Structure 1
């Protein structure tokens, strides 16, 4: 399976069950209010899912949470894609490929849980946590710079 992290790793996070696995920092702001709000919500969903996996919640509940993550991720990606289209973003094609790959991976996780498999946090689930911050850094920040530059022209 392709890695949404492109071989890169995030800094080590402390991982007690009661702490978020992914914490928001202003360094992740892309300075597009709607996108930043969605990113914060996305990270909250990732943290909630992490807690659920660590607590070994019922597979049906886990599937419901994963489906919610997929649905919100689609909504978020749609927001970004509309902005890319409206503003003729030159990095659109690679950004869209990344969206497609990430959604495929999340859908694969839903399918695995539907088949009775329970993801382990640091194997099946790792890309589902890491991708959020890596995607922001590698794809959304350049989009934010481009959109803010166009807005300030």
Structure 2
């Protein structure tokens, strides 16, 4: 799978969230470059740690919007975030095994999850938040 690229079709129409999604995609590209350039395990782990930390900060922003506007699917969406973090950190733990192809497997997981999450789950909350006046 190729790394996803930002396009307006991924926009949820909420400026802060779109900017964060762009940054997540950029950070996945940085991870892809580190893997393809055969950077050291420490470099890959640093990029990955930054990406995961940013993802958690992004999820916190979304979840605050949900609480503020009483998004009815908040619990389900938050559960998706928790599952993502758990799976991502499990991958990170396995990276120390240096199994060939694991870093690319992780990258494929990240790309697929982010793309599906934005297109399906995030766009659903975006409609609700737009009706609440959030832009």
Structure 1: segments with no counterpart, 5+ residues:
1-11, 14-20
What residue is the counterpart of 2:93 in the other structure?
111
Q: Secondary structure at the match of 1:23?
A: coil
Distance in 1 of aligned mates of 2:90 and 2:38: 19
User: Does residue 1:129 correspond to 2:130, yes or no?
Assistant: no
Distance in 2 of aligned mates of 1:94 and 1:47: 28
RMSD over aligned Cα atoms: 1.6
Decide which structure has greater helix share. Answer: 2
User: Does residue 1:53 correspond to 2:50, yes or no?
Assistant: no
Tell whether the 8 Å contact from 1:63 to 1:114 is kept in structure 2 after alignment.
no
Q: TM-score, normalised by structure 2?
A: 0.90
Q: Secondary structure at the match of 1:125?
A: helix
Q: TM-score, normalised by structure 1?
A: 0.80
Structure 2: segments with no counterpart, 5+ residues:
none
Deviations 1:73-103 (A, max 9, x none): 0000000000001100011111111100111
